[in-house]
């Protein structure tokens, strides 16, 4: 995991390497957002990477989560994909809570958008299996 931390350098480290070497390092966030923004399938493929980075201790900028939130809204992601996104964001907050207050508006927006669908599915059990009900309840509680 140390290689992930070297790849995803902090902004202050990036500025130091530009001063020392004169070249900008690779911007991995631009690559991740680029893949996620191509299509709904690209977004779904990028979600596990976002979660992996968050759980590995990589400092994910709030702007990256905001970009993913915008893409989730644009692609009308499924509840399952929304759960993966929320779990990744929560992992990031768990590891580093300072400066993450800006994510509250993202969770609020996500909750407002998904709450009617979650409630409807829980009440009607429309197209759900037992594991999905548990996931829906989990998503609902995480975004409240």
- Segments of the chain with pLDDT less than 70: 1-25, 97-98, 127-144
Q: Which residue has the tokens 């299509």?
A: 39
* Domain ranges within the chain, ordered by starting residue: 2-143
pLDDT in tens, 23-63: 556 778 888 999 999 999 999 999 999 999 988 888 888 89
- Closest by CA to 110, choosing from 55, 71, 61, is 71
Q: What gap in Å lies between CA 69 and CA 112, rounded to an integer?
A: 13
Query: Measured at the alpha carbon of residue 108, what is the angle toward residues 105 and 111, in degrees to the nearest 5?
Result: 150
pLDDT at position 74: 95
């Amino acid at each position: 995991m140390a290689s992930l931390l070297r790849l995803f350098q902090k902004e202050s480290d990036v500025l130091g390497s530009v001063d020392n070497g004169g070249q900008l390092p690779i911007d991995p966030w631009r690559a991740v957002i680029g893949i996620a923004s191509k299509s709904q399938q690209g977004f779904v493929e990028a979600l596990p990477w976002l979660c992996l980075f968050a759980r590995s201790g990589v400092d994910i900028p709030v702007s990256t989560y905001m970009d993913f939130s915008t893409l989730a809204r644009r692609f009308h992601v499924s509840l399952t994909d929304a759960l993966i996104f929320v779990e990744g964001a929560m992992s990031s907050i768990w590891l580093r809570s300072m400066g993450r207050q800006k994510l509250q508006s993202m969770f609020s927006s996500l909750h407002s958008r998904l709450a009617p669908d979650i409630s409807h599915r829980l009440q009607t059990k429309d197209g759900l299996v037992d594991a999905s009900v548990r996931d829906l309840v989990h998503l609902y509680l995480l975004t409240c």
